[in-house]
A and B are shown apart, each in its own frame.
Chain A
Amino acid sequence: MSEPEVFSPMGTPGLDPRFPRGDRRSKILGGGSARTTWVAVLSTVVFFTVAGLLIVRSTGWPEVRQSFFDAEEFRYAFPEIVQKFGWNVFIFCVAEVLVLALALLIAVLRSLPGPVFAPLRILAAGYTDIFRGVPTILVIAMFGFGMPALQLKGLPNSDLVWAILSLTLVYSAYVAEVYRAGIESIHPSQVAAARSLGLTRGQALRHVVLPQAVRRVIPPLLNDFIGLQKDSALIAFLGFTEALQRARIIQANDFNFTPYVALALIYLCITIPQTRLVDWLIARERTKRQGGAEL
């Protein structure tokens, strides 16, 4: 083992005694001795008590509490919104599957070598530039209002279809760049080794480059998916009754913002576990790489 076991300033997980492997909480609290833990706990309690008191004792607090944190309103709105959140789950699940495929296609097109493929590379690059450069809500508005307005035979009229398509187009542009970074991170010697064994360019890509590239980009890819899940709320803009639209209707009827807080909680329930998963995957990848470098 090349790493010294005693002290590593970079905090190698598992090797540095201050940070026992995988113990996140002690890392946030400063980690290590009983004294530092006590200081961390104390300063945290003081900070949040002071901040809490400042909010609760502000002049506007009673009004804010009533309009954002009304218990009765919450009991009514929460199940209503959860029910409509099913649409959001449906929308982002379908979009994620489509994004995985479309983004891979775009990334591969952009990685094609040689002068013959220049038009495809330009198309792919233009695609990513445009859809990463325009606010998602504009894309949803243009497709959601524009396409049905064309009144073309055979084009679907459903808000849902255009919303899913818009999210797919936008997030494919981001995820394509993630894939491309993964493809480019694979050392050219891997391709040389594959080609030297008589594999075609396509076989080398399929069996050697992509499996390694995809594995490497899973954490950033999941990050983009969390963004997509949140942006599924933008479909409310088309008037489609998913969770945000439902919350908006309740808010307008009852003149109370508690439904928004309820929706925020629902979102946190699905996004925080995923964020933790991404952190865990990154940490695991790091220890694995260090483990691999020992030989």
Chain B
Amino acid sequence: MTEAIRIEGLHKSFGDLEVLRGLNLQVDDHEVVCLIGASGSGKSTLLRCIDLLEPVDAGRIWIEGDEVTAAGVDPNAVRRRIGIVFQAFNLFPHMTVMRNVTLAQEKALDRSSAEARAKATELLTRFGLSDKADDYPDRLSGGQQQRVAIARALALDPDVMLLDEVTSALDPVLVAEVLDAIRELAGAGMTMVIATHEMGFARDVAHRVAFLEDGRILEQGAPEQMFTGPREAATRTFLDRIIAAGRM
């Protein structure tokens, strides 16, 4: 198996707040890794650093063997290889669903508009949105918007997908349709790093679960092992709280 992502000694602070403190992580091709941990443990920051949306303070990141934190790397070229989906969807409200999915294909990948539309149509159909292509995002439910956001990221044929708590802003009845879309992606062999609070989903879809605490990965392992017999006391405390909150 080849390595999709490799992270060594990642440090990131916001002012005095040290969010990531020497984090290491490897993700193999076609692997699905779920990041779990309390809010503020650094999950989102980690994903944003991988996509170079936040400049890292120290440490190195490789994507498919290429170091992206090296000097002289074009961050735009890196971001084209990585798809990221945000908690708040962040669709472009002044564009139709179709345009949301074709814009970056045309502007960042120089695809022809016919090519971009074909790709978008294929993806929207795959996620059950083919009848929404000409609607504006505010006509769509949260679950539909988030599926458009996933399609928009996938349209650039990324090597890896980063999902940042993509169901946290959704009405509970809409969570399932988004999780199903992600399951389908995992089944198709997409490499994914997923920050999530949906423990049942993590257990179900992840090949590996990593528990973040204090800006490091405290413990990681197969979902069964992590959820039934975590080694670290902190992991146990976190999972107990999640169970008490009825989230598992």
B192 to chain A, nearest CB (A): 15
Task: Flag if A190 contacts B92 (CB, 8 Å).
Answer: yes
Q: Mark B83-103, 1 if CB is under 8 A from A, else 0.
A: 110101011111000000001
B225 surroundings in chain A (CB, below 8 A): none
Task: Flag if B140 contacts A198 (CB, 8 Å).
Answer: no
A199 surroundings in chain B (CB, below 8 A): 76, 103-104, 107-108
What's the Cα separation between A257 and B93 when bound, in Å? 53
Task: Flag if B107 contacts A292 (CB, 8 Å).
Answer: no
Task: Flag if B108 contacts A197 (CB, 8 Å).
Answer: yes
What's the Cα separation between A292 and B91 when bound, in Å? 14
Number of A-B contacts (CB under 8 A): 65
The 8 Å CB contact of B156, one of A190, A198, A207, A211, is A198
The 8 Å CB contact of B103, one of A195, A207, A295, is A207
Q: Is A189 an interface residue (CB 8 A)?
A: yes
A284 surroundings in chain B (CB, below 8 A): none
Q: Most B CB atoms within 10 A — which of A194, A196, A203, A208?
A: A196
Task: Flag if A195 contacts B156 (CB, 8 Å).
Answer: no
B215 surroundings in chain A (CB, below 8 A): none
B92 surroundings in chain A (CB, below 8 A): 190, 193-194, 208, 212
Task: Flag if A189 contacts B79 (CB, 8 Å).
Answer: no
A194 surroundings in chain B (CB, below 8 A): 92, 104
Q: Is A200 an interface residue (CB 8 A)?
A: yes
B80 surroundings in chain A (CB, below 8 A): 197-198
What's the Cα separation between A197 and B95 when bound, in Å? 15
Q: Is B209 an interface residue (CB 8 A)?
A: no
The tally of residues in B whose CB lies under 8 Å from a CB in A reads: 30
A190 surroundings in chain B (CB, below 8 A): 90, 92
The 8 Å CB contact of A198, one of B90, B91, B108, is B108
Task: Flag if A196 contacts B79 (CB, 8 Å).
Answer: yes
Task: Flag if B108 contacts A192 (CB, 8 Å).
Answer: no
Task: Flag if B107 contacts A295 (CB, 8 Å).
Answer: no
Q: Is B30 an interface residue (CB 8 A)?
A: no
| Subset of 6 A-B contacts with CB under 8 Å | A196-B53, A197-B103, A197-B152, A197-B156, A198-B79, A292-B93
Given A193-B92, A195-B53, A197-B152, 19 other A-B residues pairs in contact with their CB atoms under 8 A: A189-B86, A190-B92, A193-B90, A194-B104, A195-B79, A196-B79, A196-B82, A196-B83, A197-B104, A197-B108, A197-B156, A198-B76, A198-B108, A198-B109, A198-B156, A207-B103, A212-B94, A215-B94, A292-B93
The chain B residues found within 8 Å of chain A, CB to CB, are 48, 51, 53, 76-77, 79-80, 82-84, 86, 88, 90-94, 103-104, 107-109, 138-142, 152-153, 156
Ranked 5 nearest A-B pairs via Cβ: A198-B80, A197-B104, A198-B108, A193-B90, A292-B138
